[in-house]
Amino acid sequence: MTVDEPFSDKVEARDAPKMPAEYQALLKRVLRIQADCEIGGPHLYVNEWLLTAPSADDQWMLAKVAGEEIDHFRKINRLLNELGEDASELMYVEKSRRDLEAFRQAMPTWADVAAFGFLIDRVGQYQLEEFVGCSYVPLERALPRIIQEERTHVGYGHVKLRDMVRTEEGRAQAQAAVDRWYPRGLDMFGLANSKRAARYLHWGLKRRSNEGARAEYMAEVAPLIEGLGLVVPDATSDRHFR
């Protein structure tokens, strides 16, 4: 492989230490960020909403979602362990220190829980799908179950928003929550001109540019938001990464 030629080989855990330093650093970084995202979600809503959910069904589902997200963290952390790293301390990090701003936010209403699943968990699904076919084989092996569960979380958020918009009060709360979380979701994709993102692509650790993935996400969620009878927020408002 020449310096500029994209990496196309497959790497097992035993071979990772033999890889160039840049590959190892990027792999560990992306796994650590993913681990932080997986554990960051439950830390936002469990304390505040698990025991005050609107129904027993919602309480059960929220507990199930939280348990699955924590299990996703466990699986990603095991991948880090194989690389000689450990992210266990992320289980105890305050939300103000999370890597991504979406996981530092407040959830003032139940509509925020629904919008988080509908919008933020959907970004999580996009992030995981970046690794499908990636060069690091242990990561790709872990994906099918995680992605399947993530889709369930997204669907639950969608159903809860759909239930809420049936009343005038619920529609207002749903719109306010979508307005809060939509820009946070867009920011999760990162800077459009990120040099690091280009290196992820080079090493086969991701398959889309930040802006390409964000554009696909926007094209997917806009008709879904409109289908709920809500207004798609301005994609340039309240943004930090473009």
Condensed to tens digits (0 to 9), the pLDDT of residues 25-74 reads 999 999 999 999 999 999 999 988 999 999 999 999 999 999 999 999 99
| Alpha helices in the chain, H assignment, sequence order | 21-49, 56-82, 110-115, 121-129, 137-164, 168-187, 195-202, 210-227
The region of weakest confidence among 2-11, 92-101, 211-220 is 2-11
- For tokens 């979701």, the residue is 185
CB count within 10 Å of CB 216 equals 14
> What was the pLDDT predicted at 242?
65
- Position 1 pLDDT exceeds 80: no
Interatomic CA distance for residues 107 and 94, integer angstroms:
15
Write down the mean pLDDT value for the chain.
Answer: 95
* Structural contact between residues 157 and 61, judged by C-beta atoms closer than 8 angstroms: no
State the DSSP code for 117. I
> What was the pLDDT predicted at 144?
97
| Domains identified in the chain and CATH numbers | 13-227 (1.20.1260.10)
Question: Which band of pLDDT confidence, cut at 50, 70 and 90, is reported for residue 239?
Answer: confident
- For tokens 């305050």, the residue is 94
* Structural contact between residues 65 and 117, judged by C-beta atoms closer than 8 angstroms: yes
- Position 111 pLDDT exceeds 80: yes
> What was the pLDDT predicted at 241?
72
Residues 6+ apart with CB under 8 A from 66: 41, 42, 45, 46, 50
